[in-house]
Amino acid sequence: MPITDAEIKSTIFSIPDDKAPGPDGYSSHFFKTSWDLVGGDFRFHPLCKSMKLSSLMFADDLLLFSKGDVGSIMILLRTFSTFSQASGLQMSRGKSNVYFNGVSSEVRREIVQVSGCIEGKLPFKYLGVPIKPSKLSIKDCQPLIDKVFERIRQLGTKKLSYAGRLVLIKAVYRTLHSYWASIFIIPKAVLLKIEAICRNFLWHGGTEYARTPLVAGQNFALIEGGGLGPRDEYSWNKARVGKLGQEWEDYNPPQDASWTWKKVCKLKQEFQPAYHQNEWAMVPGKEYTIKKGYSWLRPTSQAVSWSHIVWTKWSIPKHSFIAWLYYQQGFNTKHKLYRFGIVPDSSYCICAQKEESPPHLFFQCQYSRRVIQKVQDWTGVTMSATNTQNWWQHRRFTRLKNGVLNSILNAAMYYIWNQRNASRHEGVIISPGRCVMMIQADIRNRIKHQLQGTVSRKDKHWIEKLLH
């Protein structure tokens, strides 16, 4: 083999990892390692010959292709061992499979022997889903649905709060994104099914869909729009494909190309207006990110102005969750919560004077006003009583200060909500002063936990005062 370790290394590391879609188009994570295997007796797999393709790599997995003869396999393995020495990455032979098509049983045996790999059965499956040229069916994706079910079942049997369940669902979706959606184009029906499982689990803690959701179902999918995190998976899946860039704009897939490949090409066309001369043109000078593609795919009217208030990193998730419900009008207390059995028949507020409505409870009730007054004293910032999108009257705060102020507002809503429940169920509430002490304790912990690096001079004094 006329190649050196250094050459292999430089070739491998010279390829940006999100460039160059794999010729079968499964994923933007695919990239060619393009080893120069020509020379020696290496023979390419017949379908890879014109592309000179010998390997595809994505996530932690490497696929090698060659003609099914012992000589080619030996060269492949030798090259891999050179790669191992250069990179330190080893192949786990007992966990690796070799797949054959149209190879005699004699040669197969020999190859299995020299490679030390296990012979796998076709169709080749990746993460439990068959790799095939036709469209994936719901049945093909059943392992994915099962995994989501299983994960929720395992962790979800514990008694979790809404916020806890939300965290769990986010974890499920993260897995979905980092593996599945980057490799397969998942049929819309499958994504809807997964979404239904997650939504049902969020609202009812179970895997059966029985009761009316607290918040209308379609809101579930809006993350940019201040939604619940799990987003419109279909668009997200598409946005991943958009990452492939437009380098081969004029390319048309051949008639006999696989379903997946045609689909990828079609999606690329959908992204075409957003590209200009191979650059993501929506934000000039910036590279494409999946998030950008996603926002581009989804109409902006779905974005809401309170999303940043609710989902600030300075907030504890359970606080964010209560605030989120408020903005979603999920606290349409008399109707919805009553149906959930959360509310006994009284429709009077903590103050026992007014009928309860969310704006009254959180911002107008005498109890809440005393809490908010004390919070204002503590933060030194006055809240607007009327502007629900801009609670804190000063706009010229730093990002840090805005974030922390929003988290304090979320915490206040959370504790007011707690006290409202306590007054319903136990008939007692703590004083506004004690309520604020609980808010302070949570906020101080959270700040200490989230604060990284040094605080700018502008904020330093203020943060220190909060933490004191």
Positions touching Zn ion (CB under 5 A) are 349, 351, 354, 365
The SS3 of residue 186 is coil
- Residue 358 CB, shortest distance to Zn ion, in Å, is 11
Task: Rank residues 208 and 345 by Cβ distance to Zn ion and give the closer one.
Answer: 345
User: What is the CA 304 to chain-centroid distance, rounded?
Assistant: 20
Q: Using CA atoms, how far apart are residues 129 and 168, in angstroms rounded to an integer? A: 23
| Strands (DSSP E) found in 99-241 | 118-119, 125-126, 129-130
Task: Rank residues 28 and 423 by Cβ distance to Zn ion and give the closer one.
Answer: 423
Under a CB-based contact definition with an 8 Å cutoff, are residues 27 and 6 in contact?
no
- Residue 388 CB, shortest distance to Zn ion, in Å, is 18
- Residue 441 CB, shortest distance to Zn ion, in Å, is 25
The four Cα atoms 424, 427, 428, 429 give a dihedral, to 10 degrees, of: 20
Q: Using CA atoms, how far apart are residues 84 and 64, in angstroms rounded to an integer? A: 14
- Residue 348 CB, shortest distance to Zn ion, in Å, is 8
User: What is the CA 81 to chain-centroid distance, rounded?
Assistant: 36
The four Cα atoms 359, 360, 363, 365 give a dihedral, to 10 degrees, of: -170
Task: Rank residues 125 and 369 by Cβ distance to Zn ion and give the closer one.
Answer: 369
Task: Rank residues 202 and 371 by Cβ distance to Zn ion and give the closer one.
Answer: 371
The SS3 of residue 205 is coil
R_g (Cα) of the chain, nearest Å: 28
HSE toward the beta carbon, residue 419, CA cutoff 13 A? 26
- Residue 356 CB, shortest distance to Zn ion, in Å, is 7
- Residue 354 CB, shortest distance to Zn ion, in Å, is 5
Task: Rank residues 54 and 333 by Cβ distance to Zn ion and give the closer one.
Answer: 333
61-64, strands of its sheet edge to edge: 31-32, 55-58, 61-64
Task: Rank residues 210 and 428 by Cβ distance to Zn ion and give the closer one.
Answer: 428
Task: Rank residues 129 and 371 by Cβ distance to Zn ion and give the closer one.
Answer: 371
Count of C-beta atoms within a 10 Å radius of residue 206: 14
- Residue 383 CB, shortest distance to Zn ion, in Å, is 17
